[in-house]
């Protein structure tokens, strides 16, 4: 392999450079290349302690199908339904405490 002829430090610098290249755009803003689709939904679910399979169940779809749907950015209407499901789970959890 080509990388066996360079030092470990050089390998680390190369990897760091590649990661930096793909994470920073020309304007210095974070690139959308590395940001996952529907990251807002994933963050909201995670912070509420709600699993994606629970959201899928709330929507009445298979969890595998729901995960595939998250690969593409969802419409505002779909996101609103999902955020409502997350809020419902959060309220149920708080009621049980």
pLDDT digits (tens, 9 = 90+) for 2-50: 556 777 777 767 777 676 666 555 555 555 555 789 999 999 999 999 9
Q: What's the CA gap between 60 and 69, in Å, rounded?
A: 13
Residue 76 has pLDDT above 80, yes or no: yes
Nearest CA-CA partner of 42 in 79, 14, 8 = 79
Residue 9 is predicted with a pLDDT of 72
Q: Mean pLDDT over residues 57-85, rounded?
A: 95
What global pTM score does this model have? 0.63
Query: Higher pLDDT residue, 52 or 34?
Result: 52
Phi, psi angles (nearest 5°) of residue 31? -75, 145
Burial class from Cβ neighbours inside 10 Å (0-12, 13-18, 19+) for residue 63 reads middle
């Amino acid at each position: 392999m080509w990388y066996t002829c360079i030092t470990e430090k050089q390998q680390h610098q190369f990897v760091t450079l590649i990661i930096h290249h793909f994470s920073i755009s020309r304007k210095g803003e974070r690139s959308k290349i590395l940001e996952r689709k529907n990251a807002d939904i994933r963050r909201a679910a995670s912070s509420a302690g709600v699993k994606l399979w629970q959201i899928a169940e709330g929507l009445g779809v298979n969890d595998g199908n729901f995960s595939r749907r998250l690969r593409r950015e969802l419409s505002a209407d779909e996101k609103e339904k999902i955020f409502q499901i997350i809020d419902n789970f959060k309220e149920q959890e708080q009621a049980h405490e």
